[in-house]
């Protein structure tokens, strides 16, 4: 009787497995992936003092964002080379790397996306918010990025601007008795990458 019952239930067990697989497959198919091209990505910074603004650039090592357009769940990593910071002045950059960023000890600046709010249009312009954790000087900080997106086929261009309150985040203030420096640094990112996957639910 036991063997007969097992044979009787077998088709139903198989059907349940098939249905579970079919239900899971669309969720995987919905995943979208953006692979940034470091050669076409610019990570700029601007820091003001009482006399002028200092502008410079960092280099992106790699950048990947994976997200589900239905749930908004995201993962991946944007990795910036902290040692590449260059403002065009050797003495100023030496001080920045040695005393402020301590880039020998903390050579990476990263952003880990956790959620994407909004939808990427199939073509043309759209805007999304990317929530994640920004890590600098070895410490992570929650950060929300307002991102302008332009899609042309499989190519995606993204632009975002945000301010980093580096002093309140524990980095050294470079101000002196004579020269007062802004405790926040402005970051502008212009990136181009290859987009794979659906644009919207």
Confidence (pLDDT) at 197: 77
78-108 pLDDT per residue, tens: 999 999 999 999 998 999 999 999 999 999 9
Q: What is d(CA 36, CA 45) in angstroms, rounded to the nearest whole number?
A: 19
**Residues 43/85, Cβ–Cβ less than 8 Å:** no
Chain centroid to CA 150: how far? 16
pLDDT > 90 fraction of the chain, expressed in percent and rounded = 71
Tens of pLDDT, residue by residue over 159-176, are 999 999 999 999 998 876
- CB of 163 within 8 A of CB of 186? yes
pLDDT at 173: 87
pLDDT of residue 200: 43
| Contact between residue 73 and residue 40 where contact means Cβ atoms under 8 Å apart | no
pTM of the model: 0.81
pLDDT in tens, 27-80: 445 789 999 999 999 999 999 865 678 899 999 999 999 999 999 999 999 999
- When pLDDT is averaged across residues 191-198 and rounded to a whole number, the result is 90
Domain limits of the chain? 1-29, 31-196
Give the rounded percent of residues in the chain with a pLDDT score beyond 70: 80
**How far is 3 from 185, CA to CA, in rounded Å?**
72
Please give the pLDDT value at position 15.
Answer: 52
Class of domain 31-196: mainly beta
The pLDDT value given to residue 60: 98
């Amino acid at each position: 009787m036991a063997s007969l019952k097992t044979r009787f239930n077998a088709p139903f067990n198989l059907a349940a497995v098939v249905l579970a697989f079919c239900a899971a497959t669309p969720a995987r198919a919905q995943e979208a992936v953006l692979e940034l091209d470091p050669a076409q990505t610019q990570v700029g910074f601007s820091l003001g003092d009482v006399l002028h603004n200092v502008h410079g650039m960092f280099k992106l090592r790699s950048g990947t964002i994976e997200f589900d357009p239905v749930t908004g769940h995201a993962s991946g990593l944007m990795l910036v080379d902290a040692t590449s910071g260059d403002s065009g002045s050797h003495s100023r950059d030496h001080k920045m790397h040695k005393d402020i960023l301590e880039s020998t000890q903390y050579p990476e600046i990263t952003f880990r996306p956790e959620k994407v709010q909004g939808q990427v249009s199939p073509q043309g312009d759209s805007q999304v918010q990317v929530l994640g954790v920004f890590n600098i000087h070895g410490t992570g900080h929650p950060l929300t990025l307002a991102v302008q997106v332009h899609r042309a086929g499989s190519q995606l261009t993204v632009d975002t601007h945000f301010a980093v309150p580096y002093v309140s985040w524990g980095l050294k203030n470079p101000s002196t008795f004579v020269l007062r420096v802004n405790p926040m640094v402005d970051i502008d990112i212009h990136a181009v990458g290859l987009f794979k996957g659906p644009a919207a639910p």
